[in-house]
Copies of this chain bind each other. A is one copy, B any other.
Amino acid sequence: MTPDLDLKQYLERQRLIVEKSLEAALPENEGPEARVVEAMRYSLFAGGKRLRPILCLAAAEAVGGEIAAAMPAACALEMIHTYSLIHDDLPAMDDDDLRRGKPTSHVVFGEAIAILAGDGLLTEAFVLLSDYHTLLPERALKLIGVIGRAASYRGMVGGQVVDMLSQNKPADLETVQQMHSRKTAALISAAAESGALAGGGTDDQVEALARYGRAIGLAFQIADDILDIEGHTEVLGKTAGSDVARGKVTYPAAVGLEGSREAARKQVDHALAALERFDHKADPLRALASYIITRKK
């Protein structure tokens, strides 16, 4: 699967499978908590690319597993990703009004419900994982640890803190890398690692796919920084140039545009190298690695 068209079809097919499972994992609700479930669903179904779930399913297939076995992990990853977007967009954080071309949660539901919708999605991810009946319990527990650590202060929460505290400061490469590896690469790496775990991968395979995930996670974030400068608002669905306007520490600010492109390509090479011992079942992962730095949004 190398031609570009195939990848597009593959992504669309997988995305639809993920949509269906997410819908089942968080159905509409009519209880007293209806309003917060509505807010959780508003953001969860706001048109995300489902990159993390798709990676997770592809990693399960790469080790010879079934995608059904990886689906709870895939849905949990998307819930955690969505919670982080809701909280990052809050007035006290990035104060973003627009996300994927739609008004952000706090604009629609108010700040209190937006905070709670994020809390609810983060919690729901673990509720879903605790119901992991298609895996051996010890593997399910390990998987919860992998995803939990990626979301924790060691990963996403820590990355957002570095992001907040480094604004309007000189962009040194170390800070950018600390931020990217925690804020974005941690969960993308966990997506590949948890997929490999759910698919029944060996320790070596799980480790290789975690390495693959980390590399494409870094490439993804560098590409995001570049898109923020080169992209157009209508394609991105968020305001282009907003990183610069906010004094954000970015890869291009630290090493320039050409240096950033070079760094992203290097990470894609690392990612492909991590897949060396895998057969054709890892082809979607190979195609995804290249897609990540050529996408337009």
Indicate if the CB atoms of B127 and A161 lie closer than 8 Å.
no
Copies in the complex: 2
Given A32-B178, A33-B157, A37-B153, CB of A126 within 8 Å of CB of B111: no
Contacts of A178 in B (CB 8 A): 32
Question: Nearest CB to that of A31 among chain B residues?
Answer: B158
Contacts of A165 in B (CB 8 A): 35
Q: Which residues of A (190-229) have their CB < 8 Å from a CB of B?
A: none
Q: Which residues of A (82-133) have their CB < 8 Å from a CB of B?
A: 83, 87, 90, 92-93, 110-113, 115-116, 118-120, 122-124, 126-127, 129-132
A266 sits at the interface (CB 8 A): no
Most buried by B among A90, A119, A122, A132: A119
Given A130-B141, A140-B137, A149-B127, CB of A162 within 8 Å of CB of B33: yes
Listed from nearest, the 4 A-B pairs whose CB atoms lie closest are A33-B158, A137-B137, A92-B111, A130-B145
Which A residues contact B (CB, under 8 angstroms)? 29, 31-33, 35-37, 40, 83, 87, 90, 92-93, 110-113, 115-116, 118-120, 122-124, 126-127, 129-132, 136-138, 140-142, 144-145, 148-149, 151-154, 157-158, 160-162, 164-165, 175, 178-179, 182
